Amino acid sequence: MRTPRAFAFALVAFVLLLSMPTRSVAQAALLMEEPYGFFGTLNPTGHTAIYFANICAETPTKLRHCHAGEMGSVISRYSDVGDYDWVAIPLIPYLYSVEDSSEVPARVDRTIVNRLRDEYYEAHLEGLGENVRKGTFWHGGWTELIGVAYERRLYAFRFDTTAAQDNALIARMNNRENRSSFQLLFNNCADFSRDVLNQYFPRAFRRSFFPDAGMTTPKQIAYKLERYAKKNPQLHLQVLEIPQIPGYRHKSRSNKSISESLITTAYAVPIAIVNPYLAGGLFADYVVHGRYHLIPKDLTKLTPDELDALTVPSTGTENPLSAGVQVHSAAASGQAETHSAATAISGLKEVMATHE
């Protein structure tokens, strides 16, 4: 009879399928965000966050697996978001304060940015609680969580992950206390990213005394990820640019290391006057350790309707140091244009309690 033979064949095929090495089915990206404004002048290290294509925000403080059509979320540590240590925001709202990429303006001003942020906050973030302020010139707040691309340019260091790694992160983040532990020098946003990356790639991201005097910076973390990916090409690291939406602020500046910040800015002269030996040491540190270049010349740029490039499985052909053909950005005119685009489901529910 053919039935037993067919059953036996199917069983053997199933066993062989299980024995084959599983391919990565998830994607993530380290976001290195450029410094901007007055604080960016004082501290030009910038900000960092991590995007996960298959991890979504049930609420801003609770993670879950993404459903079909959802584009993942961005997770980061902040200094002045109530008592929370980290917050998760869906990708498109994080970048543009809207839920559909077709609603992203090609050019903005202060009125537009404030309106978009207020509307999204009222719809999704009020449940964070009264302790989460809007933010001021001196202190951050919930405005840091959304509309990031109106403030600055971002670089996405995209890499492959596995479902098992994502599952472990969801369980860890949901089960531990989400209480603020931010400290600018030694427990900042880059330290948070370092901690998360170490969960995915154990002991690969250690604290370095050079070039940042023991502090962790966005540029240092991106450099270490790039170096790790060169030794582990199965990550398929690819560098992508998410341009700043023009009109609201001046163009953001490039990220710097600690020694680079002190040597190449107005800090250099007073440091040299007060302590020439310290200035010499910083300069040597910068020359020897702090001059690494992370951004390829021919860089793929992602407009709001092209962000799905962060979510699709890699082909294994990307070259992180010479990214593929550059994608042309939409023209940024003075008119109120909007980008054509695919709908993104945010998946973010309103928070029902202030703390979990």
Question: What's the pLDDT at 210?
Answer: 65
Among residues 277, 301, 292, 253, the alpha carbon closest in space to that of 43 is found at 253
The domains of the chain are located at 23-255+295-310
Mean pLDDT of the chain: 78
Q: Evaluate if residue 341 carries a pLDDT over 50.
A: no
**CA–CA separation, 135 vs 102, rounded Å?**
27
Model confidence over 61-118: pLDDT tens digits?
999 999 999 999 999 988 778 789 999 999 999 999 999 999 999 999 999 999 999 9
Going by pLDDT thresholds of 50, 70 and 90, the confidence category of residue 303 is very high
Q: Evaluate if residue 354 carries a pLDDT over 60.
A: no
- Which range is most confident: 155-169, 303-317, 320-334? 155-169
Question: What's the pLDDT at 1?
Answer: 47
Among residues 303, 309, 347, the alpha carbon closest in space to that of 90 is found at 347
Mean pLDDT over 255-261 rounds to 72
Mean pLDDT over 306-320 rounds to 73
Mean pLDDT over 244-266 rounds to 79
Q: Which amino acid type is present at position 106?
A: A
Going by pLDDT thresholds of 50, 70 and 90, the confidence category of residue 243 is very high
What share of the chain has pLDDT > 90, as a percent? 47
Question: What's the pLDDT at 196?
Answer: 95
Going by pLDDT thresholds of 50, 70 and 90, the confidence category of residue 356 is very low
Q: Evaluate if residue 330 carries a pLDDT over 50.
A: no
Give me the residues paired with residue 29 across strands: 51, 158
Let me know: does 129 contact 350? Beta carbons within 8 Å.
no
Question: What's the pLDDT at 81?
Answer: 82
- DSSP E strands, the chain: 26-33, 47-52, 55-59, 62-65, 73-77, 86-90, 154-161, 238-242, 300-301
**CA–CA separation, 29 vs 240, rounded Å?**
9
Q: Evaluate if residue 59 carries a pLDDT over 90.
A: yes
Mean pLDDT over 152-163 rounds to 96
Among residues 91, 98, 96, the alpha carbon closest in space to that of 51 is found at 91
Question: What's the pLDDT at 134?
Answer: 84
Q: Which amino acid type is present at position 336?
A: A
Using DSSP's 3-state secondary structure scheme, residue 231 falls into: helix
Tokens of residue 266, six digits? 């107005």
Question: DSSP letters along 164-176, please?
Answer: HHHHHHHHHHHHS
